[in-house]
Structure 1
Amino acid sequence: MEILAFGVQADEKPLLEKAFRAEGPHEVRCLDVFLNEDTAPIATGYETVSTSVNCELGNHVLQTLTAGGTQMIAQRSTGFNNIDLKVAERLDLTVARVSYYSPHSVAEFAWTLGMAVNRNIVRASIRTRDFDFRLDGLMGRDMHGRTAGILGTGKIGEAFTRIAHGFGMNLLGWDVAENPACMELGMKYVPKQQLLAESDLVSLHVPLIPETRHLLDAAALRTMKDDAILVNSSRGGLVDTRALVAELREGRFTGVGLDVYEAEAGLFFLDKSLEVVDDDTLARLVTFPNVVVTSHQAYYTVDAVGQIIDTTVRNVLDYTAGRRSENVLVPAPAIT
């Protein structure tokens, strides 16, 4: 069987092809285009398609896939908010994701963003390229002794917490369930409003579900310290970006590091440098000198991508063998 993979990055392609070749019976055709309403007809005749987080699998796309003979979707990410699972279940599509990959990749990158805005690394680098070696405007702060607020203390949040503990920071956490490993590091679980009000650095590590959309809305952002640092390496929809821009226009926040953006589909992972980007919110966001935006690359290490690919191959093999693993989303697992 040949699998059609959408949204494959150049670095990812040889790894994906090698992994499927190693398993023998299956091959993969890699496309750099993302799956959406325009590209869905390409999948006609492919029983299995593999998708990335910025593919769009709404009702129309899923209907098109089913009409073309697709029966299985192997998502190459942990997040699956881009897939309408109810429609997939109605169409009898099997949908699987990657339940786990290296949490250190995202946690380390989140700290990279936090320290980049704290120590003005991007501004300093641009200056020195022009042989401007002044220190004006580059003063940062020690993280030691300050307070880190972690919204979401699962595997990635725990890895982020361990790094914060290494810096010697006070630790505040918020989640639906307390993580004993984080508590052993000295984390105190508090209500979200208290965490936002007391933290010098806030990092988001929760999934995007209806209950967490705009977790940081205008009211929540106003609760944060004026000189706080905000980092989001999870999902763009967790932050109300327009409200964030409004706060930044008021001169608030020492820095904001974003690896995700709520309207990133159709932008991130693509070269738009020769086009006019008509997203006014994003255009305004990237103009602030204390904001660093990267294009959803926190997971992008050879270790994490390797795990994602290995799990994707295993999901396809399980499907063809009639096995069901913890990675299968449709039929949707019960939420406990």
Structure 2
Amino acid sequence: MKVALFSSQKYENAFFSQAIKNFIDIEFAYFEHNLNRDTVYLASGCDAVCVFVNDDLNACVLAELAELGIKYIALRCAGYNNVDIESAHALGLQVVRVPSYSPEAVAEHCMALILTLARKTHKAYNRIREENFDLNGLLGFNIHNKTVGLIGCGKIGQALVSILNGFGAHTLVYDPNIGEGSYTQVSLDMLLQQSDIISLHCPLTDATHHLLDAQAFGKMKQGVMVINTSRGAIIDTRACIAALKSNKIGYLGLDVYEQESELFFKDRSEEIIQDDTFVRLSSFPNVLITGHQGFFTQEAMTEIANTTLKNLHALKHKTHTPNLV
């Protein structure tokens, strides 16, 4: 099986090169380009494509992949909102994913964003490098006894609940698909109204697109902290900026962004960023943005590579895999 791996990064090639040693019947062709209508031709001569979160597998791209003889699509991530699944199935393309690589990695990164914003350690770091030891402007707050609301509580959410319990926080959860646990289940409105910190852990679907819009922000506490390590489009970015300007949002931590496919995973330090919305968002002193690195640990990368290759091996040999989408 020959696989075209799109959106290839140097950091992940080492993990795939190590994992592939156990799968002698699979060969990778690495492409730095994102998969889209302009680059789909690169998959010519391959049996499968391996893609990431910002590759665009819309109906047109899928049709062209099918014409090139592609049979399989291997997502090396959990989410699949960037794939037109209905069109893929209609074309006979089989789609697999990595549903769980390291929930703790994302949960811990989420907690890192919370703590950094709460204690302003990122600002303290820059001050000390300039030999400025003044504490004014660095006043933080305790996580202990704060109310933290999780919208979505799958494996990542559950991992975060354990961390928050260790801090002595009061955890509220809105997720119709879970049972009882060491948290309090509430309605979405109650979570928005009562939480000091709100963290998103739900997939991007039609129902969750712009779930946090102007109306949702209006229900939140003044000065609330909002964290998103899930998918960018769950937040209406323009409404979010308005909420920052009015001080409704006191702290914002993002590992994802609605239009990140045009920005993230590349060095753009020598470029003029053309996304005015992102530039405005990043200009706020109470906003902390990381470039979709919540998953990025040694443990998670090892699991992603191994599971992706197991998925491809199962597809090639027509054996069972639980990771079909």
TM-score above 0.5, yes or no? yes
The Cα of 1:196 is off from its aligned counterpart by: 1.1
SS at match of 1:229: strand
Distance in structure 2 (CA, Å) of the matches to 1:100 and 1:196: 28
* C-alpha distance in structure 2 between counterparts of 1:84 and 1:277, whole Å: 29
Aligned pairs (5 A) from 1:211-226:
211-226=207-222
Contact 1:47 1:72 survives alignment (8 Å): yes
Q: Aligned residue for 1:151?
A: 151
Which aligned pairs between 1:296-307 and structure 2 lie closer than 5 A? 296-307=292-303
Q: Secondary structure at the match of 1:254?
A: strand
CA contact (8 A) 2:220 2:248 kept: no
Tell me the CA shift for residue 8 of structure 1.
Answer: 2.1
Alignment map for 1:184-263 (pairs within 5 Å): 185=182, 187-263=183-259
1:204-237 CA distances to partner (integer Å, 9 max, x unpaired)? 1011111111111111111111121111001111
C-alpha distance in structure 1 between counterparts of 2:198 and 2:108, whole Å? 15
Gaps of 5+ in 1: 330-336
SS state at 1:166 partner: helix
The one-letter code matched in structure 2 to 1:209 is: T
Question: What residue in structure 1 maps to residue 101 of structure 2?
Answer: 101
Q: Which runs of 4+ in 1 moved over 6 A?
A: none
Task: State the Cα deviation string for residues 97-145 of structure 1 (Å, max 9, x = none).
Answer: 1121111000000010111111112221122222211111111101111
2:88 is aligned to 88
**1:168 is matched with which residue?**
168
Q: Name the structure 2 match of 1:51.
A: 51
For the residue of structure 2 that corresponds to 1:265, the secondary structure is: helix
Q: 2:244·2:250 contact (CA, 8 Å) conserved in 1?
A: no
- The Cα RMSD (Å) is 1.1
Normalising by the residue count of structure 2, what TM-score does the alignment of the two structures yield?
A: 0.97
| TM-aligned CA deviation for residue 86 of structure 1 | 1.2
Distance 1:30 1:136 in 2: 50
TM-score normalised by length of structure 1: 0.94
The yes-or-no answer on 1:309 pairing with 2:305 is yes
Inter-partner Cα distance in structure 2 for 1:73 and 1:98: 12
Seq. identity, %: 38
Structure 2 unmatched ranges of 5 or more: none
Match in the other structure for 1:332: none
Whole-Å separation in 2 of the counterparts to 1:283 and 1:68: 39
Structure 1 contact 120–290 (Cα < 8 Å) conserved = no
Q: What is aligned with 1:140?
A: 140
Deviation at 1:309, TM superposition (A): 1.0
The number of aligned residues is 325
Q: What's 1:295 paired with?
A: 291
In terms of mean alpha carbon deviation, does 245-254 or 225-234 score higher?
A: 245-254
Partner of 1:272: 268
**Offset of 1:32 from its aligned partner?**
2.1
Match of 2:5 in 1: 5
Distance in 2, matches of 1:282 and 1:246, equals: 13
Secondary structure, counterpart of 1:32 in structure 2? coil
